[in-house]
Amino acid sequence: MAAVTMVEAIRQALSEEMERDPAVVLIGEDISVYGGAFKVTEGLLNKFGWERVIDTPISESAIIGAAVGMSYMGLRPVAEMQFIDFLACAFNQMTNFVAKSHYRWGAPVPMVVRGPSGGGVHGGPFHSANPEMYYAHTPGLKVVYPSTPYDAKGLLKSAIRDNNPVLFLEHKFLYRRIKEELPEGEYTVPLGKAIVRREGADLTIISYAAMMHTSLEAAEKLAAEGISAEVIDLRTLMPLDKETILASVKKTSKLLIVHEDTRTGGIAGEIAAMVCENAFEDLDGPIQRVTSLDTPVPYSPPLEERFLPGVPDVMRAARELAQY
């Protein structure tokens, strides 16, 4: 079976869920005839028609508002943001309506908001965001950020079937750079469950999305230096798989967290606090973070390269931690 890109894996998930459940509908800017800005929904209009693949005006607040209304009426909408940065335009809808409906009056909100995120493609400060922590901090929302085509498909199918609202982030750098063979049969990946991508003994590296591949490359090079790094892919940021994290820390006694999101307020701080609260006596060194800088994402390629964490940054921090 041929390997597929993350774009194709996501398209497969959408198509299969629309075939399985007639309540699943797509809504977003240019998703029908054009097939979406990154061609994720290409071909789905011909397969499912105008009533289920719905173009919208350029109004993110209206898109999310319409999707919430659809979910109240028994549909399972999947709303695409052309770039995830512009979900900020619908922040009120996301945080005061989508996230709070079940708490306020018991209404399930079975909707998914998905779209391209992340840097590394020279998109500049308005097309390269990693806004996960705005929403991971919002009670009532689930946040998913896969790193592989297999997980992207399986997690999206689980997200669509979930009765809670899910923010599904798709790192655009990975859209066509990572390929993987997918099973022919039906499968899902459970929300809220991390996975150990590489076994190790000397320290734990936790990451997700594009930085997962950076971390794995660093771990491979560290192995040549005699440093055994265990690498965990979070996959879901909310709910966070605390059990897998703590089990690995208890095993290795050292923790390095790598993410592309900016440093202050990133999930690394939350994980560090959780580990200190639950496994402080298992630690043999200070928890370390490798993150982007506390600036907007630069447009200039050399500046963006400096802004984003790289393999040398991860290796440097891992060496210091291993030697502590």
Q: What burial class does residue 302 get, using C-beta atoms within 10 Å of its C-beta: 0-12 exposed, 13-18 middle, 19+ buried?
A: exposed
Q: How far from the centroid of its chain's Cα atoms is residue 213's Cα? A: 13
Query: At 169, is the secondary structure helix, strand, or coil?
Result: strand
Q: Among residues 102, 127, 171, 259, which one is catalytic? A: 127
**Residues making up the chain, counted from first to last:** 324
Residue with tokens 């997980």: 151
Phi and psi angles of residue 226, each rounded to the nearest 5 degrees, phi first: 90, 15
Closest CA to 171 of 205, 206, 138, 214: 214
Distance between CA 245 and CA 248 in Å, rounded?
5
Give the ranges where 162-266 is alpha helix by DSSP (H).
Answer: 210-224, 242-252
Phi and psi angles of residue 262, each rounded to the nearest 5 degrees, phi first: -60, 160
What are the tokens at 87? Answer: 């979900």
Give the ranges where 49-127 is alpha helix by DSSP (H).
Answer: 60-72, 91-93, 101-105
Question: Which residues sit opposite 230 in a β-bridge?
Answer: 204
What are the tokens at 151? Answer: 């997980």
At 315, which helix (H) or strand (E)? helix 311-322
Q: Is 259 in the active site? A: no
Structure letter (DSSP) for residue 110: -
CA atoms within 13 A on the CB side of 162: 25
Active-site positions read 127
